[in-house]
Amino acid sequence: MNKSNNLSESVIFPKGQKITNENFIGQVWLEMLVSNDDTFNCSIGNVTFEPGARNNWHKHPGGQILLVTGGKGYYQEEGKPVQVLHEGDVVKIRPYVKHWHGATPDSWFTHIAISTNVQKGNVEWMEPVTDEEYNNLK
């Protein structure tokens, strides 16, 4: 089995623990790789989404960078078309841009999420991406 068919298992970094909070739809796993501190002001996590899983709409006061490590995913900013993401893609999310990210319906998806300038504040979580929105993406 090659890497891209084996994304439900860890590929490079550990898959981590299931996220149990209400800010996600579907099963999502997180392994924190770098915890924030006063020197780096950033946190880095490996995030794994099962097919169809995604996070709610949200904003990062200090911005975020996504490094796609496997599978096929979606990234969408409010009012813009969805972007389809593949291994090797890099997404720079500017502070306070409302967005969501997650897997496509038919593929696992993994990315490294780098939260930058985290001294500027925590993620602001908003409403879910409804099934209607998710199933009718443009």
15 vs 98, which CB is nearer to Mn ion? 98
Q: How far is the CB of 5 from Mn ion (least distance, A)?
A: 27
DSSP annotation of 131: H
Q: Smaller CB distance to Mn ion: residue 64 or 76?
A: 64
Smallest distance, Å, CB 93 to Mn ion? Answer: 6
Quote the least distance from Cβ 64 to Mn ion, whole Å: 5
Two tokens, residue 6: 């084996």
Tokens matching residue 12: 């490079």
Q: Min. distance of Cβ 58 from Mn ion in angstroms?
A: 6
Q: Collapsing DSSP states into helix, strand and coil, what is residue 130?
A: coil
Kindly state whether residue 116 participates in binding Mn ion, applying the rule CB under 5 A. Answer: no
**If you write DSSP's letter for every residue of 48-101 in order, what string do you get?**
EE-TT-EEPSEE-TT-EEEEEEEEEEEEEETTS--EEEETT-EEEE-TT--EEE
Of the pair 7, 47, the CB lying nearest Mn ion is at 47
Q: Which of 46, 64, 76, 116 binds Mn ion (CB under 5 A)?
A: 64
User: Which of these segments, 11-19, 29-37, 64-72, 129-137, binds Mn ion (CB under 5 A)?
Assistant: 64-72
Say which residues have a Cβ less than 8 Å from residue 7's Cβ, sequence separation at least 6. 48, 70, 71, 107, 108, 109, 110
Q: Which residues bind Mn ion (CB under 5 A)?
A: 64
